Amino acid sequence: MIFPVMLKNVFSNMQNQATNNQQQNYSTKPEGSISIDYMPKKEKKGNADKLGDFVDYEEVK
């Protein structure tokens, strides 16, 4: 009998915390600003061994 009441309180608290976090995130950024949360790692292209063989050519017209 007490378990449903405790469970309701826990979920209510979690929902309130999530709502507060979202409001704080929106209020800290001015309108129209852009933020990037994740930047993928760039692969280094400096290793010529992985690119293959280079073949000289002459352009024929």
What range defines the domain where residue 7 resides?
Answer: 1-25
Residue 48 has pLDDT above 70, yes or no: no
In the chain, count H helices and then E strands. 1, 0
In-domain check, residue 46: no
- pLDDT (mean) for 34-55: 71
Position 31 scores a pLDDT of: 72
Q: How far is CA 16 from CA 12, 21, 27, 59, in A?
A: 6, 9, 17, 70
The angle subtended at Cα 19 by Cα 16 and Cα 23, nearest 5°, is 140
Structural domains in the chain (count): 1
33 assigned to some structural domain = no
Residue 15 lies in a domain: yes
Is the pLDDT at 52 greater than 80, yes or no? no
